[in-house]
Amino acid sequence: MYRTHSCGELRLQHKGQQVTLAGWVQRIRNFGGMTFIDLRDRYGITQLTVNDESPAAVRETAAALGREFVLQVTGAVVERSNKNPKIATGDIEIATAAIAVLNPADTPPFTIEDDSDGGEELRARFRYLDLRRAPLQQAIRLRHRMAQEVRSYLDSQQFLEIETPFLIKSTPEGARDFVVPSRMNPGEFYALPQSPQTFKQLLMVAGYDRYFQIVRCFRDEDLRADRQPEFTQIDCEMAFVEREDILQTFEGLAKHLFKSVLGMEWTTAFPRMSYADAINYYGSDKPDIRFDMRISDLTDAVKGKNFAVFDSAPYIGGICVPACADYTRKQLDELTEWVKRPQIGAKGMVYIRRTTDGIKSSIDKFYTPDHLAAIADQCRASQGDLILLLSGDKKKTQEMLGALRIEMGNRLGLRPNNVFAPLWVYDFPLLEWDDETQRFYAMHHPFTSPKPEDLPKFYAADRHAIAQVNANAYDFVLNGVEIGGGSIRIHDSNVQRRMFEVLGFSEEEANYKFGFIINAFRYGAPPHGGIAFGFDRWCALFGGQETIRDYIAFPKNNTGRDVMLDAPSKIDEVQMKELYLKSAL
């Protein structure tokens, strides 16, 4: 061992001890006869001193040190005259008796500090240096802790961690697969799993009852912001359970993580909300309920007052923004521009101010103060509040109001990253009708069970009735981010057959795509259901961050490249030949 202690370990109680530390030079401060060196490792920083009384060799070595040199240092623990309460080792320093340079270092291309001076691209290229920075070390440590606690909780609940294969079969449904040419099976390809969905269902058929895995998944999508081509899921499945059992079990997991990772005790049940309510009140299937500001449906209240915009709109809704009645005209114009941006797409915005001077609005021409007061009341507006109204197609307008609500939440500081609001959302639609291809698509996947009470509709001939069928599905939402989703699966072969029929698959198609699982279900499938959590994102949220990139040791950029490795890259002709492939470029 190159050290007796870590750089985060020494305290006053070690005073007088001879110790050996090893680590990286964080900082060197030279005050004439006195040099302070901050030595850093994963555990902390310890100050080393070199002065006129230090051995000549030490003084000589110290004079030639640079940032990020790797040192092994021996010396006595000394009480500091000038203590630093900001760091755990701030009471002591090491009177350096010997220094060995274990490795010198070139000057790093950016500073290894909490706020580095390096740009994103540069830091990505030198990821191994960026990973030295404290915020990233904290992120990686948090992720480790999360993973261990997930496993310890699920193990305690008799879940078995079972590894499923990465070289599997490509299925043409859903997102694009990454594929892997097989040299031993010419002309054939494996696919990398988008999730272990079918395997976990097969494990239920195989009787494993409670399965989990923290597992890498792959999706060859055009990368939207903050998506990665490979990502990690906490993947879980249970047999002989109903929805309530799953919600209870994984609410237990979430509470365990809150407590063991963040030290937050959760004594009440997590709130639950139907998909319909989420859309109606929050304009989103993943409401951020850290703040209220719910959407009010004002359609009935505002119609018939000769305001053409509202009279012609199928839907009018509003949110009440607390204590913003004093917004200036300029602020309101800016907000109007904000909702009119293509990303939101509103045609315009109406406001109502409820002030001590009475009620004012941009539609005073059409509505009497009494009318406006009634609208404000319906929005539960108090004096000093501002009401913002949007109108148009119902679903789109609700989404716009949802986006405006989040924006106002941000502006008013109602979304602090150290406050957590978990939420279960349930009763999602089972199917989505696509006008272009004139067929239904599964909202989740074709094994999601319809709600038992909706089975009559599911077997109806009328597609509008079928469209109303709800799925026995649920999402786990945290601070407006969907971090988990799952469902009770179909285990009845008649229901499954009907599902394929509704999706427009012939029996041959269904067999080609899902043959092995349809077969498996013929040999005694238990009732089962499960859930999968986005592990990268859950870690980021617990770390108080929006972006997942810092919570992945070696992430890829927006074009799916690892700029540190310079991957992907060309392979040589021999390799192409062995795989029976030619470039079509």
Interface with its own copies in residues 116-175 (CB under 8 A): 126-129, 131-132, 137, 140-141, 143-144, 147-148, 151-152, 155, 160-170, 172
Distance CA 190, CA 202 (A): 19
Q: Give the number of other Cβ atoms within 10 Å of residue 540's Cβ.
A: 25
**Pick 429 or 527: Cβ nearer its own copies:** 527
User: Shortest CA distance to 535 belongs to which of 233, 269, 113?
Assistant: 233
Distance CA 518, CA 529 (A): 16
**Pick 138 or 331: Cβ nearer its own copies:** 138
Smallest separation (angstroms) from its own copies to the CB of 579:
7
Candidates 205-213, 287-295, 308-316, 432-440; binding stretch for its own copies (CB under 8 A): 205-213
**Pick 192 or 313: Cβ nearer its own copies:** 192
Distance CA 41, CA 68 (A): 11
Which one of residues 265, 436, 462, 566 is an interface residue with its own copies (CB under 8 A)? Answer: 566
Q: What is the largest CA-CA distance in the chain?
A: 94
Determine the angle formed by the axes of helices 535-542 and 243-262, rounding to 10 degrees: 40
Nearest 5°: the CA angle 7, 10, 12 is 150
Smallest separation (angstroms) from its own copies to the CB of 70:
5
Interaction with its own copies in 432-451: which residues (CB under 8 A)?
A: none
**Pick 36 or 208: Cβ nearer its own copies:** 208
Which one of residues 30, 185, 331, 506 is an interface residue with its own copies (CB under 8 A)? Answer: 185
Candidates 282-290, 338-346, 410-418, 559-567; binding stretch for its own copies (CB under 8 A): 559-567
For residue 396, the SS3 value is: helix
Interaction with its own copies in 476-515: which residues (CB under 8 A)?
A: 491-492, 515
**Pick 281 or 447: Cβ nearer its own copies:** 447
Interaction with its own copies in 84-113: which residues (CB under 8 A)?
A: 102-106, 108
Smallest separation (angstroms) from its own copies to the CB of 281:
32
Smallest separation (angstroms) from its own copies to the CB of 443:
24
Q: Is 211 in contact with 203 (CB distance < 8 Å)?
A: yes
Smallest separation (angstroms) from its own copies to the CB of 213:
10
Handedness of CA 556, 122, 131, 262 (dihedral sign): negative
Handedness of CA 247, 249, 254, 259 (dihedral sign): positive
**Pick 140 or 443: Cβ nearer its own copies:** 140
The β-bridge relationship of strands 315-321 and 230-239 is unpaired
Interaction with its own copies in 214-273: which residues (CB under 8 A)?
A: 216, 218, 220, 222-223, 229-230, 232, 240-242, 245
Distance CA 144, CA 261 (A): 10
Candidates 251-259, 320-328, 414-422, 571-579; binding stretch for its own copies (CB under 8 A): 571-579
Which one of residues 36, 110, 189, 327 is an interface residue with its own copies (CB under 8 A)? Answer: 189
Smallest separation (angstroms) from its own copies to the CB of 234:
13
Determine the angle formed by the axes of helices 507-521 and 197-205, rounding to 10 degrees: 50
- The DSSP output letter for 222 is P
Q: Does 554 bind its own copies (CB under 8 A)?
A: yes
The β-bridge relationship of strands 70-79 and 92-103 is antiparallel
The footprint of its own copies on this chain (CB under 8 A) covers a number of residues equal to 125
Radius of gyration of the chain (CA): 30
Interaction with its own copies in 447-476: which residues (CB under 8 A)?
A: none
CA distance readout (Å), 214 to 149, 196, 279, 489, 548: 12, 11, 31, 21, 16
Which one of residues 33, 117, 516, 546 is an interface residue with its own copies (CB under 8 A)? Answer: 516
Smallest separation (angstroms) from its own copies to the CB of 126:
8
Phi first, then psi: what are they for 452, rounded to 5°? -55, -40
Binding mask 321-360 for its own copies (x = CB under 8 A): ----------------------------------------
Order of strands across the sheet that contains 358-361 = 296-297, 315-321, 386-392, 350-355, 358-361
Distance of CA 45 to the CA centre of its chain: 31
Q: Is 261 in contact with 142 (CB distance < 8 Å)?
A: yes
Smallest separation (angstroms) from its own copies to the CB of 184:
5
Phi first, then psi: what are they for 245, rounded to 5°? -60, -40
User: Shortest CA distance to 351 belongs to which of 311, 318, 400?
Assistant: 318
Smallest separation (angstroms) from its own copies to the CB of 470:
22
User: Shortest CA distance to 327 belongs to which of 404, 375, 386?
Assistant: 386
Smallest separation (angstroms) from its own copies to the CB of 24:
6
**Pick 31 or 523: Cβ nearer its own copies:** 523
**Pick 2 or 33: Cβ nearer its own copies:** 2
Smallest separation (angstroms) from its own copies to the CB of 360:
52
Distance CA 253, CA 152 (A): 10
User: Shortest CA distance to 529 belongs to which of 487, 477, 583, 572?
Assistant: 487
**Pick 57 or 553: Cβ nearer its own copies:** 553
Interaction with its own copies in 54-73: which residues (CB under 8 A)?
A: 68-70, 72
Distance CA 425, CA 482 (A): 9
Interaction with its own copies in 286-315: which residues (CB under 8 A)?
A: none
**Pick 7 or 339: Cβ nearer its own copies:** 7
Report cis status (omega within 30 of 0) of the bond before 287: no
**Pick 248 or 355: Cβ nearer its own copies:** 248
Interaction with its own copies in 9-48: which residues (CB under 8 A)?
A: 22-24, 40-43
